[in-house]
Every structure is written in structure tokens, then in C-alpha cells.
Amino acid sequence: MGEIVLQAKNISKHFPGVLANDHINFDLRKGEIHTLLGENGAGKTTLMNILDGIYYPDEGEIYLNGKKVDIRSPFEATKNGIGMIHQHFMLVDTLTVLENVVLGLESQGFYLDKKNISEKIAEISKNYNLDINPYAKIWQLSVGEQQRVEIIKTLFRGVKILIMDEPTAVLTPQEADSLFKILRRMIKEDKSIIFISHKLDEVMKISDRITVLRKGKLVGTVDKKEINQKELAKMMVGREVLFRLDRNPIRRKGEVLKIEDLETHNDKGIKILKGVNFSIHGGEIFGLAGVSGNGQKELAEVIVGLRRAIAGKVYIKGEEVTNLCPKAITKEGTNYIPPDRLKVGLVPNLSTVENAILRRYDREPISRGIFLNYEEAAKYTRELIKQFNIMVPRENVPVKFLSGGNLQKLILAREIREEPALLIAVHPSRGLDVGATEFIRKKLLEERDQGVAILLISEDLEELLMISDRIGVIYEGEIVGMVDIDSANINEIGLMMAGVHKNPLLKGEENVKV
């Protein structure tokens, strides 16, 4: 490892309601792979977007080779030798590799000499073992190959510092291994790499140094050789004493949800659930822990009918509902708090009233023949607003103007007013402030006490420990552990989330206390 090539000093960045980066210090040496580790929402992407010129920090400075720089766009970052590969690739599907590589360069007065460029791509490709045909169309390539095109793009631009934001999240284990070979090859050429991840096993495999962020704050920077996975897990998850909400003893009722050998594909066609089994009873909160991308989002979608199962079965109250349409599944008493509030949960341009009645517009008294009884709709909405303490400027303002916490309260209010038998809540408190978070958690506990079966999918271990009755851990599409809340241990769950060790005793339902 060589001298320091990049230094971020005291970087702070606010977003409305969150301090995403709170006086972060970070440095990168020539020829090292420096991992940025942290749970979801820790502030990793924000810090890297600042280095790449996408965001400008509220406070702090960036130094390149000891000289202060002011990076105000990704173009300026490239000029300074910094390139970032985002979680969502920025490639044009219908163009070739070559066209994508030169995209954005032409406007800089670059003369498009296809032969020359293709030779240069072939040379880069050979040098780093990237194995890419310059004339292939992007849509013809696998995700792993598309990622290599992104790497070629940065190398073509002469980037010396490469930032990769969770590059393995979309890869199969084999693809991840070949990516690691490419990265090792790059550092031999004196490039420096910032690698973002929250998977401890791969972090231990690939890193020279590791910087841990938690909730926007720097926890520390450590040498890989001087740390182990267990200690890293502690740094990432935190040691704080857990604050527990008061809750009543569990009164388990009959089985509401049963999942049997469930399998499904993700959007890329990769098998993301590989035989999942569990069940949830009425009056119980089942927390599903896992870092994102391990199949939890797809699991929720299959249960509510938004994604097809390719194998296995879903039962609600003993009735098989596998691959029924969402409306039929709702009819069986399933309600859903989706992870993406404005895309799936609400219609951004409709008003509070219109969003509030989405589950009821076709029923009396809100429906009156083919018409909507606006008075009834508004009355119902005012009830929800009052009961859930939702702050709305006006009932007819488009909901996209409400804050995250109020949007989430509106969805929760609408969904639980339907008196579901099963409630699926995915990241219900993500991005919310402390007050709204506590409110949502208390409401979930109230629903549990009313006998609702709740599947709580969250990446926030503290939340899971606070309100779940049982916790299952999902890793790479399988439930790798299942613990009762009384014997749950945050570090152990953190390790299971990172795929470090499985809990062989606790498969399926064997650990359930009735």
C-alpha cells in the first residue's frame, strides 16, 4: 500500500430530517482496497456520491494527493481520476458496449474512431481479464458482464480511484469471485478502490482496510489483519443497550400464514428464494432479518401476489393462495406496507383523501352506485388523520408533498383499518424520525395484541429485537436461522445476516414456543 491519494475531512451532509454524514473522515491509499462497511442507511452512498460530485457536502473538504479539490459534478470527478460505479448501472441497453463506453465523451470533442476505440477496449479487456466483446449490445449481457462494461468505462477514462457501490449485491457468488480477481488485478496496477458492502464475509476476503459507518457517523477505520468478523459485526451493528417498548406477553392464536418450500426469481431472473419455509400465527410478530438483496423484498411480493412463485406454496388461514392476484389475496385478509411508499404504497399525485380510500372506494358508504360519495370519503380520511396524528396541509393536496413519516402513517392507517388477518410490513420505519418510528412500532404491537399475524421485514436489528416475538434470518434466499426473542442475541443475528454462521438447530418451526 502506498501513500494517501484521497482524503475526505470532516464531511457532513444533511437531507431533510436526516444527517446522512456527520463529520466523516476517510482516506484512501494508492493500491489498496478500502471497504466502506455499514448497515443500510448508514451513509455510505451519500459519502461516495460526494466524492463523485453528485452531492456537494454541507461541510468538510476533499484532498487529492494532498491538494484540496472542489468536485461539483461526476464529470469533474472523472477529470480528477475518480470514477464511481453505482448500484444501478448507467448503461443504455440498446447500444453496444463500445457506444456505451464513449457515451458522454463525444461532447468533450472526442473524435469517434471506432477501430481505435475498439482496440483500446480490447486491450483493457485483455489486461484485466474482462472478456467483453465491444460490439455486443448491453441487453445481451448478463448482470456480471454489464458490471464489467461499467469497469471498462472507468478504465477507458483513465480513472485511478474506483468507487463501487455494493457491486456484489446483484451478482451470483461465482460472478462476485471473478469481480474480486479483477479488483485485485487493478490494485496491482496501482489503482485504488473503494468497495462498499455490508456482507462481512466478502469484506474480510477483499479488503486491505475497512471503515465502518453507523447512522451517519464514523465508527472507525481498521486494518483487515487486525480484526475479525465478530468484531466487525459489533462495529457495524453497535453495542448500545437496547431500548425495549413495553409489550404484553404473546397470546398466539391459530396459524395464519404458512410458507412452504417457496422459490422465486428476482427482476434479473436470478433465483432469489431457494426454498423458504416458515409460518406465522395470529397475535405474533415474526421478524425477518437480513441485509437487503437476500430475497426478503421478493418474499413479500410473492405473498401479496405481486411476484410469481416458481415453486412452493403460500397458505393463508389454511387456504392456498399461491400466485393468486393481489386483489384476491387482499380479500383473504392480507394487507401490505410496501418498502417503496411513493411507488407502490401510494399514488403520488392523488390527494390524501383519494389515497386514503384506495382500499374502500368500491364499497359502501364511500361508493354510491357508480359514484364516489366524497363527503363519506373525506369523513373517513379525517378519522384516519385524527387517529394516526397525520400532518396534512390540506386533504386535497397531492400526497407527494407529505413528509416520509406522514406518508408512512397514512399507509399504515389505511392498511390496518381493513382489520387484516395478516399484515406484511417491509421496512416500515426506514427513513423516519424517532417519533414517527416509535409510533409505527407501537401500532404494530397494538395490531399484534388484536390477534393480527405480522411479518415484519426490516434491516434494522434493533427494531426487530424490540418488537418481534420470533426472528428468522434470511441469507441468500434461505432462512439460515430462527430464534425466539427471549434467546435472541444481536451479535449472533448480525453474524447470521452476514452469512458467517448458520444456526443448524433451528430450522423451520422447531424453536417455536407455543
Within positions 18 to 77, which residues make up the interface with ligand ADP, using CB under 6 A?
18, 20, 38, 40-46
Distance CA 169, CA 167 (A): 6
Residue 35 binds Mg ion (CB under 5 A): no
Amino acid letter, 466: M
Going by DSSP bridges, is the β-strand pair 217-223/209-214 parallel, antiparallel, or unpaired?
Answer: antiparallel
Helix (H) or strand (E) holding 356: helix 352-356
| Closest CB 461 distance from ligand ADP, rounded Å | 15
CB of 43 to Mg ion, least distance (A): 8
Q: Would you say 159 or 196 has its CB closer to ligand ADP?
A: 196
Q: Are the C-beta atoms of 147 and 179 separated by less than 8 Å? A: yes
In the complex, the smallest distance separating the C-beta of residue 430 from ligand ADP, rounded to whole angstroms, is 7
Helix count and strand count (H, E) for the chain: 16, 22
Q: Closer CB to Mg ion, residue 50 or residue 455?
A: 50
Minimum distance of ligand ADP from residue 200's CB (angstroms): 15
Stretch that binds ligand ADP, among 15-23, 155-163, 358-366, 437-445 (CB under 6 A): 15-23
| Residue 46 binding partner per list ligand ADP, Mg ion, none, with a CB distance cut-off of 5 to 8 Å that depends on partner kind | ligand ADP
Instruction: Give the nearest distance from C-beta 467 to ligand ADP in angstroms.
Output: 20
How far from 46 is each of 187, 195, 334, 339, 450, CA to CA, in Å? 24, 14, 36, 20, 40
Piece of the chain touching ligand ADP by CB under 6 A; list 12-20, 180-188, 294-302, 405-413: 12-20
Residue corresponding to grid cell 448508514: 42
By three-state DSSP, how is residue 2 classified? coil
Contact predicate 28/5, CB 8 Å = yes
Q: Give the residue from 303, 297, 407, 405 showing the smallest Cα distance to 345.
A: 407
Q: Which does 499 bind (CB under 5 to 8 A by kind): ligand ADP, Mg ion, none?
A: none
Q: Which stretch binds Mg ion (CB under 5 A): 45-53, 73-81, 328-336, 369-377?
A: 45-53
Q: Quickly count: other Cβ atoms within 10 Å of residue 308's Cβ.
A: 11
Residues 39, 236 contacting (CB under 8 angstroms): yes
The minimum distance between CB 21 and ligand ADP, in angstroms, equals 7
User: Which of 85/479 has CB closer to ligand ADP?
Assistant: 85
Q: Binding partner of residue 43 among Mg ion, ligand ADP, none, CB under 5 to 8 Å per kind?
A: ligand ADP
Choosing from 15, 75, 110, 139, the residue that interacts with ligand ADP (CB under 6 A) is: 15
314 contributes a contact to ligand ADP by CB under 6 A: no
Quick one: CA dihedral 456, 459, 205, 122, positive or negative? positive
Q: Closest separation between CB of residue 18 and ligand ADP, Å?
A: 4
45 interacts with Mg ion by CB under 5 A: yes
What percent of the residues of the chain are helix, what percent strand, and what percent coil, each to the nearest 5? 35, 25, 40
Q: Is 307 helix (H, G, I), strand (E, B) or coil?
A: coil
Element (H, E) at 368: strand 367-368
Q: Name the residue among 22, 21, 67 with its Cα closest to residue 48.
A: 21
- Out of Mg ion, ligand ADP, none, what residue 312 binds, judged by CB under 5 to 8 A for its kind, is none
24 or 130: CB nearest ligand ADP: 24
Asked if 431 touches ligand ADP (CB under 6 A), the answer is: yes
Q: Between 167 and 405, whose beta carbon lies closer to Mg ion?
A: 167
Nearest CB to ligand ADP, comparing residues 46 and 437: 46
**Based on CB atoms, which residue is closest to Mg ion, 297 or 470?**
297
Contact status: 178 vs ligand ADP (CB under 6 A): no
Residues 432 and 465: their CA atoms lie apart, in Å, by: 18
Q: Which range of residues in 42-50, 54-62, 341-349, 398-406 is near Mg ion by CB under 5 A?
A: 42-50
Between 23 and 79, name the residue whose CB sits nearer to ligand ADP: 23
Q: Shortest gap between Cβ of 480 and ligand ADP (angstroms)?
A: 22
**Of 57, 63, 18, which Cα lies nearest the Cα of 41?**
18
Residue 238 contacts which entry, ligand ADP, Mg ion, none (Cβ below 5-8 A, type-dependent): none
Residue 431: name its binding partner from Mg ion, ligand ADP, none (Cβ under 5 to 8 Å by kind).
Answer: ligand ADP
Return the one option of ligand ADP, Mg ion, none that residue 299 interacts with (CB less than 5 to 8 A, by type).
none
Nearer to ligand ADP, 35 or 46 (CB): 46
Give the nearest distance from C-beta 165 to Mg ion in angstroms.
6
CA nearest to 392, candidates 354, 431, 443 = 354
CA distances (Å), origin 365, targets 11, 149, 380, 449: 54, 57, 10, 29
Q: How far is the CB of 277 from ligand ADP (least distance, A)?
A: 29
User: Toward Mg ion, which CB reaches closer, 45 or 264?
Assistant: 45
Beta strands 271-281 and 255-265: pairing type?
Answer: antiparallel
Among 429, 172, 114, 478, smallest CA distance to 298 is for: 478
To the nearest 10°, report the CA torsion of 148, 152, 155, 157. Answer: -140
Which residues contact ligand ADP by CB under 6 A?
15, 18, 20, 38, 40-46, 431
Which residues contact Mg ion by CB under 5 A?
45
